[in-house]
Amino acid sequence: MEITLNNKIIESLKWRYAVKKFSDKKLTEEKLEVLIESLRLTPSAYGLQGWKFLIIENKEIREQLVEPAFNQRQVLEASHLIVMCTVDNYGHEHVESFMSEVADARNVSIDSLEGYSNMIKGTINNHSDESKETWLSKQLYIALGNLLTTCAIEEVDSCPMEGFIKEKYDDILNLKEKGLKSQLIVPIGYRAEDDPYASLKKVRKNQEDVIEWI
C-alpha cells in the first residue's frame, strides 16, 4: 500500500536520489553554509564528535581523487566534494579537550565533569583500535543522514559513496599527518538535465514490510 503524505520533508525525500551526473552549477556560499551547519549540529556518542568533514573545492586535487573512487565522475563534476573522516587514535586527550569545551559552554567546573569524563574514557579503553574506528565510523552515518536530508530540503543534489580506496584518499589528502582517516565521500551540487537516473521511479518497500508495531 502506498502512503500519500502532503509534507515538505516527505516530498523532499521523494525528490532526492543518488545523482550520477552533475551539472556545472555551483552552490552559493549561503546554501553551502546551511549544509555545513547540518553536519556540525549532528549528534554523536557522548557528544564527542570524533570526526572532521573536508570540503574539497580544488579541482586539481579532485582530479586526483577520481581514479581511487573507481573513476566515478561525480567526484570531479559536482560543485563540491565532502570527505567524511574519523579522528584516528581517538584517546583520553580528545575526551579531556571535549570536557573543557563542555565546561566553557555550560559554565561549570572541570571537576564537576570528572565522573562523566572517566565513564567515557572507560568506554574508549574497552575498544581495540579497530573497534574504536568502527565505533566512530558508524557515527558518521548519522552525519551522512543529516546531510542528505538537509540537501533534499534545500533542493541540493548529492551522491553518498562508500566505493573508494580509503588509503589512496588518505595519502592524497595527507590525512595521516592530520590524524584522520577517510570513511565516506559525498559529492554535492545540482543534477545534470541529461542524468538518466533523474527520471527513474524510486523503489522502496511498503511500510508494512519495514515497519512493525509492537
Report pLDDT digits (tens) over 58-68: 999 999 999 99
Mean per-residue pLDDT, 22-32: 98
pLDDT digits (tens, 9 = 90+) for 110-133: 999 999 999 999 999 999 999 999
Distances (CA, A) of 19 to 6, 50, 98, 151, 189: 24, 28, 37, 12, 9
- Smallest Cα–Cα separation from 19: which of 152, 143, 144? 152
Does residue 201 have a pLDDT over 80?
Answer: yes
User: Residue 210 class from Cβ within 10 Å (0-12 exposed, 13-18 middle, 19+ buried)?
Assistant: exposed
Report CA torsion sign: 17, 150, 14, 84.
positive
pTM of the predicted model, to two decimals?
0.95
Phi, psi of 188 (to 5 degrees): -130, 150
